């Protein structure tokens, strides 16, 4: 690597929201240590930042990613950092997800003023969320409550609970952690067994161009966590196999332990009247695959084989959900 290349900043494209800036800042700091190059944030305004309509009305599909990807392809930045749960399953030509860092807490959190558990909130309690999946889950767990469709950043949502406008909001635990949000409000962590979350929740995706410089790709590869990548590959393959958008009322959460991967997936009726779920554990044969490779090229091939096995598992789970009637519950994914 030449001296000029080593010193040229890596340009990281990011949304302007406080959470996006915080997420990008974590990745930038890690990448600076690995690459020895400065990383500068390039703020980009996405449609999701300017369109204040409900996510359920505008579909949610790619609303936070499209403008950023256009900037990346146009050479306005070198890499992007996304919340993986906001990414459509189809990756545009010319782009690759080069790294999925270690996953944060994938759970949802209920925020209230007094710590009343979600299922004990009184009739008429107002619970704020803009996610069709969370709306369906609330209608199952707190049937007497009223769901309020909301948008806005974390601080504005917390403020609506503090003021008494809402009795509770549901947020991603990872977002609260990355922002370092401090509040006197009470929180209830929702267990993933009973309350699975969106495919990729808690995970970040670092995206770059397919023809990015080899030294940049190598540095990004060091940010990648294999267990996270395999788990989110399974989850996103379930979403892909259902042919549903990333705002569909469905959940999928996978955990990789050794050679085994366990995936819990549920598809919800938006009204909360019906749900179809699967809890599957299968082997990825990682030990066998690893024993047949020793060179760098073999290691790369092993990673591709494992990723393919993870994707096939997710597609299989989706197929089984469809066979049980999930097609009647999820809206079909619409092209951009």
Region at 210 (left for phi over 0; alpha for psi -120 to 50; beta for the rest) = alpha
Write out the DSSP string of 248-308. Answer: SSEEEEEEEETTEEEEEEEEE-TTSS-EEEEEEEEE--HHHHHTT--SHHHHHHHHHHHHH
| Domain-located, residue 198 | no
* 58-91 confidence digits (pLDDT tens): 445 466 789 999 999 999 999 999 999 988 888 9
| Domain-located, residue 41 | yes
Distance, CA of 289 to CA of 39 (rounded, Å): 36
Whole-number percent of the chain with pLDDT over 90 = 69
| Domain-located, residue 196 | no
Q: Phi, psi at residue 191, to the nearest 5°? A: -65, 140
Distance, CA of 137 to CA of 159 (rounded, Å): 23
Assess whether 76 and 127 both reside in one domain: no
Assess whether 247 and 215 both reside in one domain: no
Name the token pair of 94: 């010319």
| Domain-located, residue 261 | yes
* Among 256, 257, 276, 260, residue whose Cα is nearest residue 268: 276
* 154-180 confidence digits (pLDDT tens): 989 999 999 999 999 999 999 999 888
Which pLDDT score is estimated for 289?
43
Q: Which of 72-86, 168-182, 249-263, 319-333 has the lowest mean pLDDT?
A: 319-333
| Domain-located, residue 61 | yes
Distance, CA of 304 to CA of 121 (rounded, Å): 47
Assess whether 336 and 231 both reside in one domain: yes
Assess whether 218 and 77 both reside in one domain: yes
| Residue 172: partners with Cβ closer than 8 Å, 6 or more residues away | 85, 107, 108, 109, 197, 201, 202
CATH code, domain carrying 306: 3.30.160.40
- Domain of 156, in residue numbers: 108-190
Distance, CA of 289 to CA of 226 (rounded, Å): 14
Q: Could you list the active site residues?
A: 86
Mean pLDDT, the chain, as a whole number?
87
* 82-104 confidence digits (pLDDT tens): 999 988 888 999 999 999 999 99
Assess whether 119 and 139 both reside in one domain: yes
CATH code, domain carrying 185: 3.40.190.10
| Domain-located, residue 197 | no
Assess whether 329 and 239 both reside in one domain: yes
Distance, CA of 195 to CA of 245 (rounded, Å): 20
Per-residue pLDDT band for 271 (boundaries 50, 70, 90) equals confident
Assess whether 213 and 237 both reside in one domain: no
| Domain-located, residue 307 | yes
* 273-304 confidence digits (pLDDT tens): 899 999 999 998 765 444 444 445 545 556 78
- Please tell me which residue, 190 or 5, carries the higher pLDDT value: 190
Whole-number percent of the chain with pLDDT over 70 = 84
Assess whether 211 and 77 both reside in one domain: yes
Per-residue pLDDT at 25 exceeds 80: yes
Q: Which of 158-172, 214-228, 298-312 has the lowest mean pLDDT?
A: 298-312
Assess whether 144 and 263 both reside in one domain: no
| Domain-located, residue 195 | no
Assess whether 94 and 207 both reside in one domain: yes
Using an 8 Å Cβ cutoff, are 127 and 107 in contact?
no
Assess whether 119 and 97 both reside in one domain: no
Other Cβ atoms within 10 Å of 327 Cβ, number = 15
Per-residue pLDDT band for 208 (boundaries 50, 70, 90) equals very high
The radius of gyration of the chain from alpha carbons, rounded to an integer in Å, stands at 20
* 88-146 confidence digits (pLDDT tens): 888 999 999 999 999 999 999 999 999 999 999 999 999 999 999 999 999 999 999 99
Assess whether 208 and 255 both reside in one domain: no
Q: Specify the number of domains making up the chain.
A: 3
Collapsed DSSP state (helix, strand, coil) of residue 240: helix
């Amino acid at each position: 690597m030449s001296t000029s290349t080593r010193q040229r900043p890596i340009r990281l494209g990011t949304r302007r929201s406080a959470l996006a800036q915080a997420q990008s800042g974590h990745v930038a700091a890690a990448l600076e240590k690995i690459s020895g190059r400065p990383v500068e944030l390039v703020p980009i305004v996405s449609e999701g930042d300017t369109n204040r309509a409900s996510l359920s009305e505008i579909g949610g599909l790619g609303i936070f990613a499209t403008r950023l990807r256009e900037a990346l392809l146009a050479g306005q930045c070198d890499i992007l950092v996304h919340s993986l749960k906001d990414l459509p399953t189809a990756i545009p030509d010319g782009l690759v997800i080069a790294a999925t860092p270690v996953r944060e807490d994938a759970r949802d959190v209920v925020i209230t003023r007094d710590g009343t558990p979600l299922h004990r909130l009184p009739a008429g309690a107002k619970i704020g969320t803009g996610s069709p999946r969370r709306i369906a889950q609330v209608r199952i767990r707190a049937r007497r409550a009223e769901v309020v469709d909301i948008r806005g950043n974390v601080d504005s949502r917390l403020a609506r609970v503090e003021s008494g406008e809402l009795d509770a909001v549901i947020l991603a635990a990872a977002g609260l952690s990355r922002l370092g949000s401090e509040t006197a409000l009470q929180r209830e962590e929702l267990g993933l067994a009973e309350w699975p979350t969106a495919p990729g929740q808690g995970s970040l995706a670092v995206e770059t161009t397919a023809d990015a410089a080899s030294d940049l790709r190598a540095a990004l590869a060091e940010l990648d966590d294999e267990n996270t990548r395999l788990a989110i590959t399974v989850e996103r393959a379930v979403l892909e196999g259902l042919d549903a958008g990333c705002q569909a009322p469905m959940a999928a959460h996978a955990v990789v332990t050794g050679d085994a991967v366990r995936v819990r997936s549920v598809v919800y009726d938006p009204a909360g009247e019906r749900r179809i779920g699967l809890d599957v554990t299968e082997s990825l044969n990682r030990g066998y695959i690893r024993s047949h490779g020793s060179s760098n090229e073999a290691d790369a091939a092993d990673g591709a084989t494992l990723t393919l096995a993870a994707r096939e598992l997710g597609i299989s789970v989706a197929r089984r959900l469809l066979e049980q009637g999930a097609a009647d519950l999820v809206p079909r994914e619409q092209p951009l």
